[in-house]
Chains A and B, each alone.
Chain A
């Protein structure tokens, strides 16, 4: 019905997370109606981002420079490395403002079915990086079997490299009521209890 260029735009928008064909059509229509304020600047921003985006060779973060802004920030503690599964997890840690060290982005978890082994997760790079400069490595992988299996694997390797390894706590979330928590979370919280 629409011109091929517009159909192409809609098809591409459909491939974005959270968007089905109907939402993609609405978005495309909105962009076309606000061409000067939205469509042109968005197109320019996408082109520019596509041109400059790169993966940090040190930590695996996605940024516009290599090494990334986190790795080159002199105010960060370079002796502290936090291991996360994904760039989204790195952003979540940064949002919290609770951490001022560096990162290592694995890009997933160990999974034979997905073809992800230690090499794909850049674990050998992490180990040599930890040996050279780390005082402490913080494991912040997800609380799933795959996430914890990966964490244990890294712990074994780093123990041989004589690096202190810590792990973020698992348990009751802030604002969480015990009555509404699942058994697994309560079990983890009880196991991680500490003296007050």
Chain B
């Protein structure tokens, strides 16, 4: 009965992205791992197909050098004999984000961190179109605002909050978890992931996480607020996303934090 039901469901959604054996579309390169002498297993983030891997032949050859770099926007074409195979990828560069950020240590660290987190945190072949758009927007902010202390670190914190929301672990920052008030929210409860007001949180302030004002549109995104934001999102990423798979937040993320904290 159960298997029949599944089969019925399967037929009911003939265009399920997981059952496709071929697709073409824009994608962001998240990572590329060398496979053999010239090939690489490339991880992409696509709007329709989510995080998707494929084998790219000649990835390290002269013609494709620099295409499969994290952060690059590419036109991808994937093909496999069966839908659950790794499949073959062909990539055409559309915009080489990484090349433009290589001389900027902090922004490059931001790009590397976002790609590493997306690669490790997102389930494979599950569409997250909002996160795809948010990632494009984040990279665009990084490129368009070259000042190292400009607005991109705040955009990065918002991107991580968005990632948590996409994965079903969004933070509730609208009202106080204890009193229901909407004003003076300055803490986040590490247990409930909800905002806590200054008055309600006072007795437990050592155990609460600071809530930076810019995340609720009530304060500037200065260096301290960005650092608080990074601490906040790191805590929930580790607890909800990486602890579940027995992993630590990627080293690239901690390097970004160290660089931004050093600037304070």
B 96-128 contacts with A by CB, 8 A: 96, 98-100, 102-103, 105, 108-109, 111-112, 115-116
CB-based contact A149/B112 at 8 Å: yes
**Complexed CA–CA distance, A113 and B31 (Å):** 10
**Complexed CA–CA distance, A145 and B104 (Å):** 11
**Complexed CA–CA distance, A191 and B102 (Å):** 10
**Complexed CA–CA distance, A1 and B202 (Å):** 81
Binds A, one of B134-142, B188-196, B224-232, B251-259: B251-259
Nearest A residue (CB) for B252: A112
Binds B, one of A54-62, A68-76, A88-96, A152-160: A152-160
Which interface class (under 10, 10 to 19, 20 to 34, 35 or more) fits A? Answer: 20 to 34
**Complexed CA–CA distance, A122 and B198 (Å):** 47
Looking at the assembled complex, report how far the CB atom of A65 sits from the nearest CB atom of chain B, in whole angstroms: 31
CB-based contact A145/B96 at 8 Å: no
Chain A residues near B255 (CB, 8 Å)? 110, 149, 153
CB-based contact A117/B251 at 8 Å: yes
**Is B172 located at the chain interface by the 8 A CB criterion?**
no
If A183-B93, A184-B66, A184-B96 touch, whether A112 touches B102 (CB-CB below 8 Å) is no
Nearest A residue (CB) for B36: A17
Chain A residues near B111 (CB, 8 Å)? 145
Chain A residues near B58 (CB, 8 Å)? none
If A112-B252, A156-B259 touch, whether A182 touches B102 (CB-CB below 8 Å) is no
> What does the 1/0 interface line of A130-155 toward B look like (CB < 8 Å)?
00000000000001111011001101
**Is A18 located at the chain interface by the 8 A CB criterion?**
yes
**Complexed CA–CA distance, A184 and B85 (Å):** 32
CB-based contact B37/A17 at 8 Å: yes
CB-based contact B102/A145 at 8 Å: yes
CB-based contact B109/A182 at 8 Å: no
Nearest A residue (CB) for B105: A152
**Is A66 located at the chain interface by the 8 A CB criterion?**
no
Looking at the assembled complex, report how far the CB atom of A127 sits from the nearest CB atom of chain B, in whole angstroms: 16
| Of listed A149, A170, A184, residue having the most chain B CB within 10 A | A184
Looking at the assembled complex, report how far the CB atom of A110 sits from the nearest CB atom of chain B, in whole angstroms: 7
CB-based contact B102/A188 at 8 Å: yes
Chain A residues near B96 (CB, 8 Å)? 182-184, 187
Chain B residues near A156 (CB, 8 Å)? 105, 259, 262
CB-based contact B105/A182 at 8 Å: no
| Of listed B99, B111, B250, residue having the most chain A CB within 10 A | B99
Looking at the assembled complex, report how far the CB atom of B145 sits from the nearest CB atom of chain A, in whole angstroms: 16
Looking at the assembled complex, report how far the CB atom of B95 sits from the nearest CB atom of chain A, in whole angstroms: 8
Looking at the assembled complex, report how far the CB atom of B237 sits from the nearest CB atom of chain A, in whole angstroms: 14
B 72-106 contacts with A by CB, 8 A: 72, 93, 95-96, 98-100, 102-103, 105
Looking at the assembled complex, report how far the CB atom of A165 sits from the nearest CB atom of chain B, in whole angstroms: 12
CB-based contact A18/B116 at 8 Å: no
Nearest B residue (CB) for A18: B37
Which single member of A110, A155, A188, A192 contacts B105 (CB below 8 Å)?
A: A155
Nearest B residue (CB) for A153: B255
Chain A residues near B105 (CB, 8 Å)? 152, 155-156
CB-based contact B98/A184 at 8 Å: yes
**Complexed CA–CA distance, A184 and B103 (Å):** 12
Chain A residues near B98 (CB, 8 Å)? 144-145, 184
Which single member of B33, B93, B112 contacts A145 (CB below 8 Å)?
A: B112
Chain A residues near B166 (CB, 8 Å)? none
**Complexed CA–CA distance, A30 and B259 (Å):** 56
Looking at the assembled complex, report how far the CB atom of B264 sits from the nearest CB atom of chain A, in whole angstroms: 15
Looking at the assembled complex, report how far the CB atom of A195 sits from the nearest CB atom of chain B, in whole angstroms: 18
Interface residues of B (CB under 8 A from A): 31, 33, 37, 65-67, 69-72, 93, 95-96, 98-100, 102-103, 105, 108-109, 111-112, 115-116, 250-252, 255, 259, 262
Interface residues of A (CB under 8 A from B): 17-18, 110, 112-113, 117, 143-146, 148-149, 152-153, 155-156, 170, 182-185, 187-188, 191-192
| Residue contacts A-B, CB under 8 angstroms, 19 given | A110-B255, A112-B252, A143-B102, A144-B98, A145-B70, A145-B112, A149-B108, A149-B112, A156-B262, A182-B66, A182-B93, A182-B96, A183-B96, A184-B72, A184-B93, A184-B99, A185-B99, A187-B96, A192-B103
